[in-house]
Structure formats: C-alpha cells, structure tokens
Amino acid sequence: MRRLLLVLAVILVGTVGVVTAATAAGRGGPGLPTLLAKSATVAYAPGPGATDVAPTAPATVTVSDGTFAQVSLVNAKGEPVAGTLTGNTWSTTEPLGYDAQYTWTGTAVGADGVAVPLAGGFHTLAPAKVVRGVLNIGDGRTVGVAAPIEIQFNAHVEDRAAVERALTVETSVPVEGAWGWLPDEAGGSRVHWRPKEYWPAYTKVHVGAKLYGVSYGGGRYGAADVTSDFEIGRAQIVKADAQSFRMVVERDGQQVADYPASYGLASDPDRNTRSGVHVVTEKFTDKRMTSQQYGYDVMEKWAVRMSNNGEFIHANPASAGAQGSSNVTHGCINLSTENARAYYDTALYGDPVEVTGTPVQLSARDGDVWDWTLSWAQWQELSAL
C-alpha cells in the first residue's frame, strides 16, 4: 500500500511539471499556444501581375487572421494612392491613371506575431486614344427654357450606350427629358439632352458625366469626368409670325414687346426664314454678314443668332421701310436699331424663337441645334438606350 501511494505521488508531480512547462513556454517561448496561432494571409484584387486593369475599379487588399501594420498602394513615382481601411480590407478611393504601374507596400501581422510584407502589383489598361467630352453650359450660367444640354466629343463614339449610362441630369423640380445622339460634328460624336417640353422657368440643373474610364469602343476611353450646375432663367419666348410682319416677345406668359419686323423674301426659297423652333445660341454687338450668292458684305448691329444657318435677329436700317409691312430680307428677322438693341439686351442662350408663316421648315440641314424640330417620340428614338 505504501509503495502504491509513492507511485501515485510521482505521477502527480510529473503532471504538474508538464503543465508548468507548457505555461511557461506560452509566456516566453515557442510553446503550445504560439504553435497553434495562425499566420496572416493577404489577398489582392486585382491579383498580382494583372494587366489591362480598369482604372475606375477599386483596388483592394484584405488580411485574414491578422491586421495591417501599414498598407498603401503607390504609383511608379512612389506616390501613394488615396484609400481607406474598412474592417480588414483597404480599398482605393480615387481613380487610377491609364497605362500605369501600381505596387503594394506595407505589412500585415498575424496572430502568431509574424509580419507578412505586402508585395506585387498590377498595370492599368492603355487606351488607343483618350477622348475628351465638353459640356456646352458652364457652372453658374443662366440659360433659356429651350436650351439643350450638349456634350461634344473630340472623336467618334462607338459604344454610345456605355457613354449614355454614365450621364445624369438632376433637376430641382421634376422634368421629363432624354439624351439623343446627333450626327458627328466638329470631328467627333455629340449627344444632347432635351426636355420633353420647354424647361420650367427657374429650374436648377446638375449635369453629371462620369466619363473617365468608360470604354467608347475601338480602344477609346473617356478622358475625364465633367459636371455643370446651372439655372434656367425666365421663360422668354419670341413669337415670330412672318405673315404678321411683327415680332412679339413674351416673358413668363406676358407680352412685353411687339416690334415691326421684316422676314425673308417668300418668293425665293433660299431667302425664306425657316419655320420652326429656333434656339438663341450667341449674340454680337456688331456682326459682319456676307453672302457670295447674293453679293453683300455688311456690318450689322445688335445681332442675335437663332440658327447656325445664318439666321439672326438684328438691326437693319436698310430695310426700315419694309419693317411692319413686307418681307424683303435674306432670311434674318430685321428690326429697327432701337428695337434690335432692346431685344438684344434681354436675349439669353437657349431662348426659343418660334417662327411661323413661311413655306420652308427648319431642319437638320439648318444648323447644330435642331432638337425642337423633332416630336418627342422622334427625339426618344435618338437615344442609344
């Protein structure tokens, strides 16, 4: 019996020794808890060595079984890219450049206390051509109720649907409208946004075109995002009935002017003022007007362009005897110098000029802004979506 108790005592002492050793190893050496701890695992997206990476897609790195001690993505110059850490994932928060190399740097530390270096990188896509888009209405401008929003590109756009998906129009009051693609002009494609009806007066408008990184097809990509914040002004509409020999100006539903006028000579189709909704695009205190066909070269005052085919509202003392009684012009609307100045002072880009009473209709052949010559159904057919 005494021998049995002695054996049990030896076994118990040995067991205590094992536990104590294991506990000590856990505090200061490679004991059992340390051996069970996991090392940090790092995952990259895009993967190491990836090429043709879209510059607008977020680049991320995620650590499992550990935390980041330091993390960054740098360009070829060693400059860090802006990013944010959410949980165990770090992600870029700004677009990357085209045709550029990016490299991961930093370390992740696992539960085992071992630092794992971040390494590797990727290369973004290289466009065959970077295409620029320009908005026609700048920040802070006030425009008329018929103003289209226009984006002019400096090259042809093949994938119009992809571009159109990147475009937004936000308004302070509900406005129904749509994008429409017009024939290429000025060396590239162009897209207009037109409301179904004239803009509501005093509407605030924000245009967003997130074009950077968008594939236009054929290896072409968007050069930069563009935006604009502008406002629709008062609702000023010119009622120009050629048969009345008058030009009436309405503002916010009230008639504010009624001027004697002379329109294009009806007997010559080339001299007819075109019937339809014209849009004011620019104005000049002095404008040189020439025609080889009709042999004139004159400087006219207070000229407001209403179409890119040469039609203006302007002063013309030479036709003063016909203003209010007959149509003798070469297609423009002639007013007296005093009346032309009065109208000029009120005109805004985007004001509609509604010409009626002539045998020739305004059409796509007459200039760059013929948006309002189409019905709403016809306009919607110009959308790529």
Which residues form the catalytic set? 314, 332
In terms of Cα–Cα distance, which of 254, 278, 144, 252 is closest to 198? Answer: 144
Dihedral sign, Cα of residue 8, residue 10, residue 16, residue 21 = negative
Task: Name 208's Cβ contacts closer than 8 Å, sequence gap at least 6.
Answer: 167, 168, 169, 170, 225, 227
Alpha-helical segments (H) within 217-260: none
Query: What's the distance, Cα to Cα, between the start and end of the chain in Å?
Result: 97
What tokens does 205 get? Answer: 């408008």
Which residues share a beta bridge with 61?
Answer: 44, 90
Instruction: Name the one residue in this structure whose structure tokens are 């030479």.
Output: 318
DSSP summary character for residue 147: P
DSSP summary character for residue 350: T
What tokens does 285 get? Answer: 């205190």
SS3 at position 91: strand
In terms of Cα–Cα distance, which of 149, 146, 122, 279 is closest to 200? Answer: 146
